[in-house]
Amino acid sequence: MRADYYALSPEFAKRYMDFSLSLKKGEAIGETIRNLVTIRASQLNGCAFCVDMHIKEAKLAGERELRLHHVAIWRESPLFDARERAALAWTEALTKLGEHGVSDAAYDAARAAFSEKELSDLTFSVVAINGWNRLSIAFRPVPGSMDAAWGLDKAGLS
């Protein structure tokens, strides 16, 4: 790891962690979609630490291993339902922002699958994981280095 941002900026790290944990408690989209979103955004951003962590979290939450392998190919895979596909498409639209932002077509497609409240919660989840990805990419924590502390070693994916 380049630097321990938790130790160097504890007030910011704690507030960001509180924000992220509050999303898990109050969101309308559910754990399965949230797990898919965190994995996909982390893949797109090239965040090894976060891909590793979120795959283990999803497995502990009961996600099937084949679906975890298929997140990267979700468009071609028959393993995801319409809401999950909409969430993954919205995640990609927000994570890979184009020159003109998010298109009306992308918004309309997401809105067709989610209520306004659900889409708002989903968007905050995408915002949160993109921030964590950037922190991890900047400071390079070692994938798996926090498994024991966070209980991720129980996923059996070492």
Instruction: Using only the alpha carbons of the chain, give its radius of gyration.
Output: 15
How much is the pLDDT for 90?
98
Q: Is 77 left (phi over 0), alpha (psi -120 to 50) or beta?
A: beta
How much is the pLDDT for 104?
95
d(CA 135, CA 137): 6
Quick one: average pLDDT of 28-40?
A: 95
Quick one: average pLDDT of 111-136?
A: 97
What does the domain layout of the chain look like in residue ranges?
Answer: 11-153
How much is the pLDDT for 82?
97
What is the band of 69 on the pLDDT scale with cuts at 50, 70, 90?
A: very high
Residues ≥6 apart with Cβ < 8 Å to 133 = 41, 42, 45, 47, 50
How much is the pLDDT for 25?
85
Could you give phi then psi for residue 19, rounded to 5 degrees? Answer: -60, -50
How much is the pLDDT for 93?
98
Going by the DSSP 8-state scheme, the letter that residue 46 receives in this structure is: T
The two structure tokens encoding residue 121: 């919660």
**Side-chain half-sphere of 1: how many Cα atoms within 13 Å?**
15
- CATH 1.20.1290.10 for the 11-153 domain, yes or no: yes
Residues found in the chain: 158
How much is the pLDDT for 145?
92
How much is the pLDDT for 158?
76
Is residue 37 within 8 Å of 129, Cβ to Cβ? Answer: yes
d(CA 124, CA 122): 5
How much is the pLDDT for 91?
98
Give the count of beta carbons closer than 10 Å to the beta carbon of residue 39: 26
Q: Which residue has the tokens 């968007």?
A: 123
